Amino acid sequence: MFYREAGQFKSSYQADQAIFPIIQDRWFMAIVFVVAYLVIPLIADEYWFQAVLIPFYVFAIAAIGLNILTGYCGQVSLGSGAFMAVGAYATFKLVTGFPELNIIIAFLLSGLFAAAVGMIFGLPSLRIKGFYLAVATLAAQFFILWVFNKVAWFFNYNPSGFITAPPREVFGFLVSGPEAAPVTRYYVSLIFLTIFAFAAKNMARGHLGRAWMAIRDMDVAAEIIGIRPLHTKLLAFGISSFFCGVAGALYIFVWLGSAETEAFDLLNVSFPVLFMIIIGGLGSVLGSILGAGFITILPIFLTNAPPMVGIAISADFAKHLEEIIFGVMIIFFLIVEPAGFNRLWQIAKEKIRKWPFPY
Amino acid sequence: MEVLNTFFVAPFLDMGSDLIFLTEVIIGGMMAGIMYSLVALGFVLIYKASGVFNYAQGAMVLFAALTLVGLMERHVPLVLAIILTMGVMIGLAFLIERYMLRKLVNQAQIILFMAAIGLNFVFEGAGQIAWGSNVKKLDVGIPDKSFEFGGILLNSFDLFAACTAAILVAILALFFQKTPTGRALRAVADDHQAALAVGIPLNTIWVIVWSVAGFVALVAGIMWGGKAGVQFSLVLIALKALPVLILGGFESVPGAIIGGLLIGIFEKISEVYWGPAFGGAIEGWFAYMAALIFLMFRPQGLFGEKIIERV
């Protein structure tokens, strides 16, 4: 009744190709923005910022990045943690080497470093395909983290091996370092997420996205109709790693504050990010964000739910129980909706369109 | 020149100067490689028959070893404990088929891979809830002594593991080649739909394959657990098996064995001769890099099926 395109006539190509062509969608997005930018900062407390919202946004950026590579271009990668680490360590070197450099610029520059590294490790994708490639990207994961662990120059010869976010200001607001206010850091991650999500959405529906999807669906056929595989695949690796690199920089400088390579481990980062895009929906920007939310919030919920309803269990038992529930929920979700949240969202829209007379 | 020397000349000179030590290193590598093969074998069996890239194989090894140790701690005799554990693994195979594989038929491989990672979490959690998470000692009566043979130092436990692996592979080969079930398994591995069309029950086959993989996991669990103690880190040997898999080819049982041996030898040699030049701790990535470089020349691995692409 309320959500339908009837009566909305387009009189120009520009209007027809708008990113949200229906007015209800635009209203919905406006509400989402008002909630994210105005309402949440007013009502959320420090725990929510630090434990839920900031990691949610940071991982959403990484998930969008991986979704470009895996969802749109079809190259399964298990190395996203390593590319995030490249972003984080590059930022660390930049902000400590050039203290007067604006940290936002440092984030973007380190994204470029990550893109370069990603493209190098993307080269084998021309010959190696499918799961062989997935396992081969693990080489990047382990090798890069080993380098960051071994070469002391990367963590400025800090004896503990940690990299720590130094205090840096942008427009008079402290955005990184231990003194930075959670709300400022929240805004930084949110603004990055907004820009990156729109950029990804536009890339995906443009010429580049179509080339990626052609490669994903059948790379030989794509080659025959004139899409250059080298060019397209490497661009996917580069752009994906750029997103991951910036996300990795935010991960350390806006969220954690200090970390070592352990934080970018396969089990801590690469697998969860892959979960996010599968649960959210392959080949969908919205899906990446929803999946990131789900995977970030689920463990927190599982940890806090039993005490809330008054069941006292030992920490060790709770941890293992959490693992089981997490695993079961993943399998359950894959069985119920293998195409992810994005598909659920589309079904919901279809339902609303016909509501209340679904025939 | 200094760099060239440390990376390209000195290691080879070291190798040439002490041939007995080199042989020992190679044999040590082969022994380690056999252990990787045991895990990789489980991967290959399941991948061939159900198309699942079963990341949970490592967790299955842990689960089987934990169950075995838990039973033995309750004074169940060894043989009975092994039979009971096998029963548990078969039961699990049945549950996995009934509640996971059957519902995920015809999904993309990446979805199945994700489900396997989910399964990995379940196995990890369940094994540790049921049997506790502290390190346990598994003693199945295999002697762990070193002895000298023709001037070369050998370890009896390693030899035993190698023999076990050889026997296991022989049994599997016989099972696959000579029994009707084995033929059905090969048919399913070849072509699901054609196998269904000639009347092979796919669901039963899956249960059998996952049970066989459970059996392989149990053997691997006994070997690894006997060597390093049964503990959580057993899960991570799945990561050791992955380069073996891509080197040998996902679909090939001989590939898993030969790949394991090659990776084992390669890893040991690189660790001993190149490790100091790199500054140590290179075993985490060296096998992956080697497999990656190998794949550049042969994208389907050593024995994998040739990738034919049709438009």
pLDDT beneath 50, residues of chain A: none
Q: Cα–Cα distance between A192 and A87 in angstroms, integer?
A: 14
Can you give the pLDDT at residue A132? Answer: 86
Q: Is the pLDDT of residue B54 over 70?
A: yes
Closest CA to B230 of B34, B39, B69: B69
From the list B123, B285, B310, the residue facing A146 with the nearest CB is B285
- Domain extent listing, chain B: 2-297
| Tens-place pLDDT, residues B252-270 | 888 888 898 899 888 888 8
Can you give the pLDDT at residue A240? Answer: 95
Long-range contacts from B18-25, C-beta under 8 angstroms, 24+ separation: B20/B151, B20/B152, B23/B152, B24/B152, B24/B153, B25/B268, B25/B269, B25/B272
Chain A residues within 8 A of B242 when measuring between CB atoms = 135, 138
Min Cα distance B182 → chain A (Å) is: 26
| Partner-chain contact A132 B299, CB within 8 Å | yes
Q: Cα–Cα distance between A276 and A271 in angstroms, integer?
A: 9
Where b means 16+ CB within 10 Å and e means fewer, A87-126 reads: bbbbbbbbbeeeeeeebeebbbbbbbbbbebbbebbebbe
Task: Provide the H-helix boundaries in chain B.
Answer: 2-4, 10-17, 19-50, 57-73, 78-96, 109-131, 156-178, 180-190, 192-197, 202-228, 237-248, 253-269, 275-278, 286-297
In a domain, A340, yes or no: yes
Min Cα distance A198 → chain B (Å) is: 26
Q: Is the pLDDT of residue B151 over 80?
A: no
**pLDDT range class, residue B170, cuts 50, 70, 90:** confident
From the list A128, A143, A271, the residue facing B117 with the nearest CB is A271
Residue with more model confidence, B9 or A269: A269
- The chain B residue lying nearest A273, using CA atoms, is B114
| Partner-chain contact B125 A324, CB within 8 Å | yes
Side-chain half-sphere of B260: how many Cα atoms within 13 Å?
Answer: 29
| Rounded CA Rg of chain A | 21
Can you give the pLDDT at residue B157? Answer: 80
- The chain A residue lying nearest B287, using CA atoms, is A139
Q: Cα–Cα distance between B177 and B186 in angstroms, integer?
A: 9
| Partner-chain contact A338 B104, CB within 8 Å | yes
From the list B239, B279, B296, the residue facing A127 with the nearest CB is B296
**What is the four-CA torsion angle of B28, B33, B35, B41, rounded to 10 degrees?**
-160
Residue with more model confidence, A209 or B139: A209
Q: Cα–Cα distance between B35 and B29 in angstroms, integer?
A: 10
Can you give the pLDDT at residue A233? Answer: 93
Residue with more model confidence, B228 or B66: B66
Top-ranked range on mean pLDDT: pick from A67-76, B25-34, B125-134, B279-288: A67-76
Chain B residues within 8 A of A129 when measuring between CB atoms = 299, 307
- Whether the link from the prior residue into A356 is cis, omega within 30° of 0, is yes
DSSP per residue over A261-312, as a string? Answer: GGGG-IIIIIHHHHHHHHHH-TT-HHHHHHHHHHHHHHHHHHHHHHHHTT--
Can you give the pLDDT at residue A114? Answer: 95
User: B2-297 sits in which CATH class?
Assistant: mainly alpha
In a domain, A11, yes or no: no
Min Cα distance B180 → chain A (Å) is: 31
Chain A residues within 8 A of B245 when measuring between CB atoms = 135
Can you give the pLDDT at residue A213? Answer: 94
Min Cα distance B178 → chain A (Å) is: 31
| Partner-chain contact B301 A132, CB within 8 Å | yes
**What is the four-CA torsion angle of A51, A54, A60, A63, rounded to 10 degrees?**
-70
Min Cα distance B11 → chain A (Å) is: 21
User: Which tokens belong to B279?
Assistant: 């500054």
Side-chain half-sphere of B308: how many Cα atoms within 13 Å?
Answer: 3
Can you give the pLDDT at residue A85? Answer: 94
Amino acid at B277: A
The answer to whether A279 and A330 are in contact (CB under 8 A) is: yes
pTM: 0.90
Chain B residues within 8 A of A329 when measuring between CB atoms = 118
Secondary structure class of A258 (helix, strand, coil): strand
For the four alpha carbons of B174, B177, B183 and B186, in that order, the dihedral sign comes to positive
Can you give the pLDDT at residue A234? Answer: 94
Counted across chains A and B, CB pairs separated by less than 8 A come out at 133
Q: Terminus-to-terminus CA distance in chain B, angstroms?
A: 50
Secondary structure class of A159 (helix, strand, coil): coil
- With residue A164 as reference, give the H or E element that holds it: strand A163-164
Q: Cα–Cα distance between A58 and A289 in angstroms, integer?
A: 10
Q: Is the pLDDT of residue B102 over 90?
A: no
Q: Which of B186-195, B211-220, B301-310 has the lowest mean pLDDT?
A: B301-310
Where b means 16+ CB within 10 Å and e means fewer, B233-254 reads: ebbebbbbbbbbbbbbbbbbbe
Can you give the pLDDT at residue A312? Answer: 66
Distance of CA A291 to the CA centre of its chain: 9
Side-chain half-sphere of A7: how many Cα atoms within 13 Å?
Answer: 6
| Partner-chain contact A146 B121, CB within 8 Å | no
**pLDDT range class, residue B50, cuts 50, 70, 90:** confident
For the four alpha carbons of A250, A252, A256 and A261, in that order, the dihedral sign comes to positive
> Which DSSP category does B6 fall into?
I
- Mean pLDDT over each residue of chain B, to the nearest integer: 83
- With residue B148 as reference, give the H or E element that holds it: strand B146-149
From the list B110, B111, B288, the residue facing A142 with the nearest CB is B288
> Which DSSP category does A71 fall into?
I
| Tens-place pLDDT, residues B118-133 | 999 898 888 888 877 7
Can you give the pLDDT at residue A310? Answer: 67
Q: Cα–Cα distance between A103 and A107 in angstroms, integer?
A: 6
- Range(s) of the domain holding residue A196: 20-354
Task: Check which CATH number belongs to the domain holding A194 and give it.
Answer: 1.10.3470
Chain B residues within 8 A of A134 when measuring between CB atoms = 113
In a domain, A127, yes or no: yes
| Partner-chain contact B288 A146, CB within 8 Å | no
Can you give the pLDDT at residue B293? Answer: 86
For the four alpha carbons of B295, B296, B302 and B303, in that order, the dihedral sign comes to positive
Distance of CA A59 to the CA centre of its chain: 4
| Partner-chain contact A132 B284, CB within 8 Å | no
- With residue A233 as reference, give the H or E element that holds it: helix A229-250
Chain A residues within 8 A of B299 when measuring between CB atoms = 127-129, 132
Min Cα distance A224 → chain B (Å) is: 10
In 10 A of CB A206, how many CB atoms?
10
Chain A residues within 8 A of B121 when measuring between CB atoms = 323-324, 326-327, 330
Min Cα distance A70 → chain B (Å) is: 10
Top-ranked range on mean pLDDT: pick from A184-198, B74-88, B183-197: A184-198
From the list A316, A317, A327, the residue facing B121 with the nearest CB is A327
Min Cα distance B249 → chain A (Å) is: 9
Chain B residues within 8 A of A282 when measuring between CB atoms = 110
User: Which tokens belong to A199?
Assistant: 């950029």
Number of domains in chain A: 1
> Which DSSP category does A259 fall into?
E
What is the average per-residue pLDDT within B78-95?
91
In a domain, A10, yes or no: no
From the list B109, B119, B245, the residue facing A331 with the nearest CB is B119
Q: Which of A179-183, A214-218, B209-213, B282-286 has the lowest mean pLDDT?
A: B282-286
